[in-house]
Amino acid sequence: MCIRNHHSAECGTPPHIDDLRPNRYLGYFENQYGEQARFICDRDSNKAVLYLGDAGLATPHAVVDGAVPDVVLSETDLPRVRACWQPATANREEV
């Protein structure tokens, strides 16, 4: 997945994300302010992270049950994260 970065250098270096692993779900969205978000879920480990420009592109933020506990998301961004979370985890087995 190749996404052109629209953020300033102060936001950090965007993560290198490959789509070579079959059980990896990738999502991307951009909000009305141009902030870019990259959602990555590893279905094998049932772990997901979100990279956000304004929260530091180099920092992965854990996604837990469709929410991002350590980031305050806007009312428009939270549904977008959940829209990525739902298909990424739809077929997972509960442990």
- Say how far apart CA 43 and CA 24 lie, in whole Å: 6
* H helical segments located in the chain: 77-89
Low pLDDT (below 50) residues in the chain: 95
Beta-bridge partners for 67: 64
Question: What does the domain layout of the chain look like in residue ranges?
Answer: 9-89
- Say how far apart CA 30 and CA 5 lie, in whole Å: 11
pLDDT at 95: 47
Whose CA is closest to 57, among 18, 12, 3?
12
12 sits in the region (left: phi over 0; alpha: psi -120 to 50; else beta) called: left
